[in-house]
Amino acid sequence: MTDGARDRADELDRGDPLAGFRDEFLPSGDVLAYLDGNSLGRPPRAAAERLAAFVADEWAGRLIRGWTDGWLDWPQTLGDRLGRAVLGAAAGQVVVADSTTVLLYKLARAAVDARPGRTRIVLDTDNFPTDRYVLAGVAAERGLHLDWIETDPAEGIRPEQVAAAVGPDTALVSFSHVAYRSGWIADAAAITRIAHDAGALTLWDLSHSGGSVEVALDDWGADLAAGCTYKYLNGGPGAPAYAYVRAGLDVRQPIRGWLGTAEPFAMGPEHVPAPGARALISGTPPILGMVPLAASLDLIERAGIAAIRAKSLRLTGYALDLADAWLAPLGVTVAGPRDDARRGGHLMLRRPGFERVLAPLYERGVIPDYRRPDGIRVGLSPLSTSFREVHDGLAALRDLLARTPA
Ligand SMILES: *Cc1c(COP(=O)(O)O)cnc(C)c1O
């Protein structure tokens, strides 16, 4: 099709100040367009080198001495780097540990226990399944009631809905900052204020925000947050997650292991929590799993989150233009926000019959993310995605849809 879309992609790539970062990631031979960087980011080249060097120099070289030489501090030092580069959090409030699900559980339990006498948790119907299940589990354990906000699946949670849902019995409100389906960015500062006015704590899931949109936990006044590192943070499959606890917030998490204590090697009779976010740690930290994340953070620190977000908006803006020009005539709708202020790092496209184009897309090396029943998510990881990739991926989708009845 000669509509100038490819020229426009090449022009955008030429003008992209972050274009050079694409070479910092390992190539995937058969992939023409990777549109699922919001589910699993590409591997930084340095991740492979660092993992090999870690095994040879640190594991073999230091053996058990490695723990006291520095590994024990990794959860906090990496957490502090994440806080500074990605989360808008001053030092001492972030640790890397566990998985997102486990950290959400620890934080939610800690939050409701820190608001004794309050009996309700406010959440929304469109949050990621693990968030809903964990919060329901905590409510069941503690005999609490869930107040569900019905979210519009093409949008997200709005401050006025939260204001209507909270009350003097609310212990905790918990949402995703960027909705995993629609890509809607919640007004976290306003929602946090509303929760605090009601005396409740906030728990934010940043899995779809960290590394793609600007996060400002300290400025929002947020209490607790967690997120994963294998999506826009390129930490690798199953990489450990991160958690934030606002400085000065006195919470006790439920899995009280020895490495979350102030003095683990005192081997004392009781669990005396370490100061700050360190108390969220339970047992031995997953050091090997943190090595790629350290390599990825080098790239993010160099690029800067403001430039990453600016490119993310250009990528999704270009994809929106192509969706309007090519896909809308084929029955595709954009089920997410269009305005820059509310649009996260991915787009949700909907059309009945998407499942039938998935296998042929994969055969052509185009990898989006299918969401039942009729959604395709186009996740555009700013450091590793070119505009040409967006063009080629959506052109393949257009060509296949044109031959596939809805
Ligand atoms: C990806 C994602 C998770 C993943 O949790 P895991 O414990 O890593 O499986 C949780 N919440 C949200 C909102 C996500 O997008």
The pLDDT tens digits for 322-350 are 999 999 999 999 999 999 999 999 999 99
* Catalytic member of 34, 175, 230, 354: 230
Full strand arrangement of the beta sheet holding 241-245: 94-97, 241-245, 224-227, 201-205, 170-176, 120-124, 145-149
Annotated active-site residue 377? The verdict is: yes
- The pLDDT of residue 83: 98
Annotated active-site residue 81? The verdict is: no
Determine which residue's CA is closest to atom 14 belonging to ligand 1.
207
Which helix (H) or strand (E) segment holds residue 83: the answer is: none
- The pLDDT of residue 2: 61
- The pLDDT of residue 341: 97
Count Cβ atoms within 10 A of the Cβ of residue 333 and give its class: 0-12 exposed, 13-18 middle, 19 or more buried.
middle
The pLDDT tens digits for 343-377 are 999 999 999 999 999 999 999 999 999 988 999 99
Strand partners, 96: 242
- The pLDDT of residue 406: 77
C-alpha dihedral sign at 392, 326, 384, 38:
negative
Ligand 1 center to residue 219 CA distance, Å? 24
d(CA 210, CA 87): 7
- The pLDDT of residue 385: 98
Ranges of residues in the chain whose predicted pLDDT is under 70: 1-2
- The pLDDT of residue 314: 98
pTM more than 0.75: yes
Catalogue all structural domains in the chain, each as residue range(s) with its CATH number: 5-44+304-402 (3.90.1150.10), 70-301 (3.40.640.10)
Full strand arrangement of the beta sheet holding 333-334: 333-334, 346-350, 375-379, 369-371
Determine which residue's CA is closest to atom 2 belonging to ligand 1.
207
What DSSP string runs through 8-38?
A: HHHHHHHT-TTGGGGGGB---TT-SEE-BTT
* Catalytic member of 187, 205, 369, 392: 205
Annotated active-site residue 205? The verdict is: yes
Region at 26 (left for phi over 0; alpha for psi -120 to 50; beta for the rest): beta
